[in-house]
């Protein structure tokens, strides 16, 4: 990975590995040959970023873009993937991923080969893993930043990519990094977030934990008011280990970290974190080079780029390219690659509002930008901002658990905005989710909507719940508004946008405006819609021709169950790695404990494969005794296990751990790969 395409990747775990695609291809072969049951296959493919769709036989491929940082050659890679494997445009997500839809299952392995060859990955873009690490979209050019949050996100991604500890956690973890207190990365609504700060003249990060949206949203609490950069890996590891240790694996709807913190209590969780953090500090981690810290040249916290342009401290310009609904065709991606080259851009970044930023431009380069963008069907930064402020998920166009066609409704909003006089097109951040899961972050919107079903005259009809004035940076979710029929929701948004333009007092935020009006005032604004009588149109959603039928009974891919023992082998490998880490710093008792933990986890994995259950809190001796009395105690397994016990005793006597370590490795590998082939 040393060519120019991958120059932004420095040390640590590489983003792309050819072995990822070959591993996926082998799993696909096993599944299609009947060797893997559906549950194991689902868990496996999701960990490779391959999602099911509402349509049978085709998949959505989610491509992980750490920090939203796009090397310019990747634009052509994405164009080729979209053109050759998918149908329709590629989609920029609110978590700075790229999604390609309608990829036939039998072609997914070839798509991953192409992706990896281009230096990109889908590894751990789904499943119960560390998901894509987000960052401020203007990182690297923002005059307010203390550090390039995109670079930090890139490094954090590679700290945990392919790490055995995070392959099968109780539930996913969403991480983010913000370069300053403006918190464009959204640390307050992620499982774990960093905000760059300075304390006593020293740069570092403030850490927040336990945020999230969805049906039961929660604002993160402070984990640490200051942590130096060299301790960030240990901080993240401590939180991950607490998540694995305490989060439920049986109640999927309550397995996210914020529910674990609530169940344990914030103070108890923070106390356990401090203990775990202290235990892990000083242990070996994947490489981490010192960051390039800088002094902010601007301290304001208001809108940063009202005209779509930002001037960096070094004098270069970042241009925010509006991408309506985050959708780019293969030809547009190719066109953007050519434009980026022609204007001398150094890099591109994806925004959490589904747009794309070109960095490193000169003033002279801007002259022909609008014309070049128009040639590929995109607006210039200054005139397209309002349309690009509409954010949607795919809804029922592809999502298994979508309720409404959020994308088609978003398209109607864009058309409405485009038809307005230019002076009325003040950008208002509108986020439309096709269900309550908040994939577009509707709780954080100036105007948010989420899809739901209501019965009207005995028939199901698509509706939207309104949300107004989200201000999550200051700990406030949007004010909940009324429910309106989907076919009236476009008019509701128009009324609200006009009121925001005309009725706010000078300097009044959308949040303060919504609170000032309250539920009665908001209802009064929408009074013109209240008298509307139901028509047949109400029962057919935007973009649809058939009558609305209500929510699907399908299970969402993000909450799909994992194979019940999948995590035990990974945790055994992680414990073996910890054995090495503790030995490296001379912490012999902890190394021995890690070795015993590796043995217990490996034996538990073996027992589970033979239908023998063992309680998680059983002592090592009880687990070992259960093993000896079980059908799992075959000659090969017993030989490997007895070697571990013998070498452990020898290590205690001689003080040399090499043979013990080799025996542990043999035991784990003989259980994970009993035939000598990939499991």
pLDDT for the residue 663: 95
Give pLDDT, residue 646: 95
pLDDT interval class at 32 (50, 70, 90): very high
Q: In sequence order, what are the residues at sequence separation of 6 or more whose Cβ sits closer than 8 angstroms to the Cβ of residue 612?
A: 626, 630, 631, 632
Please tell me the distance from the alpha carbon of residue 366 to that of residue 373, in angstroms, as a whole number: 11
Mean pLDDT of 566-593: 93
Contact 352, 93 (CB under 8 A): no
Task: Tell whether the model's pLDDT for residue 349 goes beyond 80.
Answer: yes
pLDDT reported for residue 12: 65
Only one residue has tokens 């100036």, namely: 446
Helical axes 330-342 vs 72-85, angle rounded to 10° = 160
For residue 374, the surrounding DSSP H or E stretch is helix 369-375
**pTM of full prediction above 0.85:** yes
Q: Which CATH superfamily groups domain 309-379? A: Sulfite Reductase Hemoprotein;Domain 2 (3.90.480.10)
Domain ranges of the chain: 1-127, 129-304, 309-379, 388-553, 566-672
pLDDT band at 383 (very low <50, low <70, confident <90, very high): confident
Region 231-252 average pLDDT? 95
pLDDT of residue 170: 94
| Confidence class for position 15, pLDDT limits 50, 70, 90 | very high
Q: Give the strand pairing for 317-321 and 327-328.
A: unpaired
Looking at every residue in the chain, the average pLDDT score rounds to: 92
Give residue 679's pLDDT band: very low, low, confident or very high (50, 70, 90): very low
* 334 touches 84 (CB < 8 A): no
Secondary structure (3-state) at 193? strand
Lowest-pLDDT range of 300-309, 448-457, 482-491, 603-612: 300-309
Give the side-chain half-sphere CA count within 13 A for 76. 10
| Cβ contacts of 281 within 8 Å, gap of 6 or more | 231, 234
Does residue 46 come out as left (phi exceeding 0), alpha (psi in the -120 to 50 range) or beta? alpha
Arithmetic mean of pLDDT, 347-376: 95
What pLDDT is attached to residue 6? 30
pLDDT at position 146: 97
β-bridge mates for residue 319, sequence order: 309, 358
Q: How far is 499 from 468, CA to CA, in rounded Å?
A: 12
Backbone angles phi, psi at 452, to 5 degrees: -155, 175
Average of per-residue pLDDT across 149-166: 95
Distance of CA 598 to the CA centre of its chain: 30
- Looking at 3.40.50.1820, 1.10.1780.10, 3.30.413.10, 2.60.40.1180, the CATH number of the domain 129-304 comes to 3.30.413.10
DSSP symbols for 39-50: HHHHHHHHHTTE
Q: Is the dihedral of CA 243, 246, 250, 251 positive or negative?
A: negative
**Two tokens, residue 519:** 């539920």
- Distance in angstroms (rounded) separating the CA atoms of residues 89 and 16: 23
470 is written with which tokens? Answer: 């989200």
Closest residue by Cα to residue 196 from 183, 179, 184: 179
DSSP state of 533: P
The CATH topology of domain 388-553 is Sulfite Reductase Hemoprotein; domain 1 (3.30.413)
Q: Do domains 129-304 and 388-553 have the same CATH topology?
A: yes
The helix (run of H) or strand (run of E) holding residue 414 is helix 406-419
Q: How far is CA 549 from the centre of its chain?
A: 30
Range 289-300 average pLDDT: 89
- Gap between the Cα atoms of 275 and 278, Å rounded: 5
**Phi-psi category of 497—alpha, beta or left, where left has phi over 0 and alpha has psi -120 to 50?**
alpha
Coil vs helix vs strand at 560 = coil
d(CA 510, CA 508): 7
CATH number of 566-672: 1.20.120
Distance CA 650, CA 646 (A): 6
pLDDT of residue 281: 92
CA–CA separation, 498 vs 484, rounded Å?
18
Compute, in degrees rounded to 10, the torsion defined by CA atoms 42, 94, 469, 300. Answer: 140
Which of 257-261, 280-284, 463-467, 613-617 shows the lowest per-residue confidence on average (mean pLDDT)?
Answer: 613-617
Q: In degrees rounded to 5, what are phi and psi of residue 285?
A: -130, 170
**Per-residue tokens: 241:** 């280990």
Q: Check pLDDT > 60 for residue 9.
A: no
Distance CA 460, CA 340 (A): 48
**In this predicted model, what pLDDT tens digit does every residue of 93-143 receive, in sequence order?**
999 999 999 999 999 999 999 999 999 999 999 999 999 999 999 999 999
Question: Among candidates 404, 407, 409, 449, which has minimal Cα distance to 430?
Answer: 449
φ, ψ at 502 (rounded to 5°) = -100, -25
Helix (H, G, I), strand (E, B) or coil at 223: strand
C-alpha torsion sign, points 404, 409, 411, 413:
negative
Pick 1-127's CATH classification: 3.30.420, 3.30.70, 1.10.3470, 2.60.40: 3.30.70
Residues 6+ apart with CB under 8 A from 506: none
End-to-end CA distance of the chain: 28
pLDDT at position 5 is 31
Using a pLDDT cut of 70, give the percent of the chain over it.
95
Going from the C-alpha of 255 to that of each of 45, 245, 247, 259, 303, the distances in angstroms are: 21, 12, 5, 7, 36
- With DSSP H G I counted as helix, E B as strand and the rest as coil, what are the percentages for the chain, rounded to 5? 45, 15, 40
Range of lowest pLDDT (212-226, 261-275, 298-312, 597-611): 298-312
Residue-wise pLDDT for 585-643, tens only, equals 999 999 999 999 999 999 999 999 898 988 888 899 999 999 999 999 998 899 999 99
Helices (H), 201-329: 232-246, 257-264, 266-280
Distance, in Å, from the CA atom of 194 to the CA atom of 217, rounded to the nearest integer, reads: 19
424-479 pLDDT, tens digit per residue, is 777 889 999 999 999 999 999 999 999 999 999 999 999 999 999 999 888 899 99
Output the six-digit token pair for 556: 């969402």
What's the CA gap between 629 and 624, in Å, rounded?
Answer: 9
CA 246 to CA 305: how far, in whole Å? Answer: 42
Tokens of residue 271, six digits: 């106390």
Whether 325 shows a pLDDT value over 50: the answer reads yes
Residue 507: which residues within 8 A CB-CB, separation 6 or more?
none
Mean pLDDT of 251-268: 95
Report the pLDDT averaged over residues 36-56: 94
**Whole-number pLDDT of residue 303:** 64
pLDDT score, position 561 = 59
DSSP state of 181: T
CA 62 and chain centroid, separation: 10
Contact 136, 96 (CB under 8 A): no
Report the pLDDT value the prediction gives residue 301, as an integer from 0 to 100.
65
DSSP string, 153-200: HHHHHHHHTT-GGGSS-SS-B-EEEESSTT-TT-GGGSSEEEEEEEET
Which pLDDT value is given to residue 614? Answer: 86
Say yes or no to pLDDT of 554 above 80. Answer: no
CA–CA dist 399, 467 (Å, integer): 22
CA distances to 304, 431, 453, 613, 619 from 443, rounded to whole Å, are 21, 8, 19, 42, 45
């Amino acid at each position: 990975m040393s060519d120019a395409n991958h120059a932004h990747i420095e040390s640590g775990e590489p983003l792309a590995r050819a072995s990822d695609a070959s591993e996926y291809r082998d799993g696909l072969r096993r599944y299609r040959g009947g060797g893997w049951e559906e549950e194991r296959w689902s868990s496996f493919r999701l960990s490779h970023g391959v999602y099911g769709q509402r349509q049978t036989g085709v998949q959505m491929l989610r491509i992980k873009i750490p920090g939203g940082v796009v090397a310019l050659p990747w634009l052509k890679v994405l164009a080729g993937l979209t053109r050759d494997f998918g149908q329709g445009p590629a989609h920029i997500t609110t978590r700075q991923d790229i999604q390609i839809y309608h990829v036939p299952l039998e072609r997914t392995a070839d798509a991953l080969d192409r992706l990896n060859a281009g230096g990109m990955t889908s590894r751990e873009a789904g499943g119960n893993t560390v998901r894509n690490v987000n960052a401020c979209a203007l990182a690297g050019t923002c005059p307010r930043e203390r550090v390039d949050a995109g670079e930090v996100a890139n490094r954090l991604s590679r700290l945990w990519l392919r790490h055995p500890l995070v392959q099968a956690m109780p539930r996913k973890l969403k991480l983010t990094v913000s370069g300053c207190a403006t918190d464009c990365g959204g640390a307050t609504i992620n499982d774990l977030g960093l905000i760059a700060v300075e304390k006593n003249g020293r740069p570092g990060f403030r850490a927040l934990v336990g945020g999230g949206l969805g049906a039961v949203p929660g604002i993160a609490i402070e984990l640490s008011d200051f942590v130096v950069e060299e301790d960030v890996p240990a901080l993240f590891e401590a939180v991950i280990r607490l998540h694995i240790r305490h989060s439920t694996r049986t109640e999927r709807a309550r397995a996210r970290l914020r529910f674990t913190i609530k169940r344990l209590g914030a103070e108890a969780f923070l106390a356990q974190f401090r203990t775990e953090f202290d235990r892990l500090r000083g242990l070996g981690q994947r490489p981490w080079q010192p960051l390039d810290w800088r002094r902010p040249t601007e301290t304001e916290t208001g809108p940063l780029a009202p005209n779509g342009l930002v001037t960096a401290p070094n004098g270069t310009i970042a241009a925010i390219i509006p991408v309506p609904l985050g959708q780019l065709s293969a030809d547009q991606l190719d066109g953007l690659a050519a434009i980026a080259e022609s204007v001398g851009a150094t890099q591109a970044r994806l925004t959490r509002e589904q747009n794309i930023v070109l960095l490193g431009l000169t003033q002279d380069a801007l002259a022909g930008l609008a014309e070049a963008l128009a040639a590929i069907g995109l607006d210039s930064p200054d005139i397209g901002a309002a349309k690009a402020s509409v954010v949607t998920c795919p809804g029922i166009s592809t999502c298994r658990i979508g309720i409404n066609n959020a994308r088609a409704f978003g398209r109607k909003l864009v058309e409405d905005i485009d038809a307005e006089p230019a002076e009325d097109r003040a950008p208002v951040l509108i986020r439309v989710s096709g269900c309550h899961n908040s994939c577009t972050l509707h709780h954080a919107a100036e105007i948010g909507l989420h899809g739901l079903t209501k019965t009207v005259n005995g028939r199901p009809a698509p509706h939207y719940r309104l949300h107004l004035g989200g201000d999550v940076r200051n700990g406030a979710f949007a004010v909940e508004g009324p429910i309106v029929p989907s076919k009236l929701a476009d008019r509701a948004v128009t009324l609200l946008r006009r009121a925001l333009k005309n009725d706010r007092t000078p300097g009044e935020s959308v949040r303060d405006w919504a609170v000032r009006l309250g539920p009665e005032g908001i209802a009064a604004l929408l009074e013109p819609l209240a008298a509307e009588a139901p028509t047949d149109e109400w029962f057919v959603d935007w973009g649809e021709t058939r009558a609305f039928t209500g929510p699907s009974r399908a299970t969402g891919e993000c909450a799909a169950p994992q194979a019940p023992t999948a995590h035990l082998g990974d945790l055994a490998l992680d414990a073996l790695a910890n054995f090495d880490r503790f030995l490296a710093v001379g912490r012999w008792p902890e190394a021995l404990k890690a070795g015993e933990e590796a043995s217990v986890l490996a034996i538990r994995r073996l027992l589970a494969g033979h239908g023998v259950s063992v309680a998680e809190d059983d002592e090592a001796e009880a687990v070992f005794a259960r093993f000896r009395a079980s059908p799992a105690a075959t000659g090969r397994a017993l030989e490997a296990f007895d070697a571990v016990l013998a070498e452990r005793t020898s290590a205690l006597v001689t003080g040399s751990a090499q043979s013990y370590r080799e025996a542990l490795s043999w035991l784990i590998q003989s259980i994970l790969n009993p035939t000598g082939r990939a499991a």
